[in-house]
Amino acid sequence: MRRLVRHRLVLALMLGLASVPASAVQPDEILPDLAMEQRARAISSELRCLVCQNQSIDDSDAPLAKDLRVLVRERLKAGDSDTAVRGFVVARYGDFVLLRPPFDLRTALLWAAPFLILLAALGFLWRRGRAMAAPASAVPLSEDERRRVARLLDDQAP
């Protein structure tokens, strides 16, 4: 029993450690001002690594991500606001650099696509279910077919 509890605790610890996000920020990139470093981390956690594409620049080890992290910190040291820093990066790389792109006319299909696919799938399943549940249209037997059925049934009678 103790062994099982110990295994569960080790598993829980491993899963807990696995869920902690890894930061790729190098010690030489960290700003001495703690408030400014927190702003830089907040901004870089919203920017996509253009090499990895599924990580923020804060989590990526790619050289381009490092360059972007340094760029964000340089802009903050120059006195830019958080919005100005994001705007500067978006002006250079486009909305794709944002992990959460804004909702506008150009990205409306991107935001709506999952819902449209879900609606199309539900519509397909609904039509398919109705088609399978509907009885086949009955066509009356011709006189010749009735005679053949009657003969077959007579032959089967004991």
| Mean per-residue pLDDT pooled into runs of 10, the chain (158 residues) | 70 57 61 82 89 84 88 90 92 88 81 92 92 75 92 81
Can you give the CATH number for the domain in which 50 is found? 1.10.8.640
d(CA 43, CA 73): 10
With respect to residue 55, please indicate whether it lies within any of the assigned structural domains: yes
Residue 78 in tokens: 């120059």
Domain count, the chain: 1
Q: Give the residue among 51, 49, 58 at the shortest CA–CA distance from 97.
A: 49
- Could you tell me the residue range of the domain that residue 71 belongs to? 18-97
* pTM of this structure: 0.56
User: Which pLDDT value is given to residue 26?
Assistant: 63
Residue 66 in tokens: 């490092």
Residue 11 in tokens: 């598993």
d(CA 97, CA 67): 14
With respect to residue 32, please indicate whether it lies within any of the assigned structural domains: yes
With respect to residue 152, please indicate whether it lies within any of the assigned structural domains: no
Query: Which amino acid would we find at residue 66?
Result: K
User: Which pLDDT value is given to residue 88?
Assistant: 93
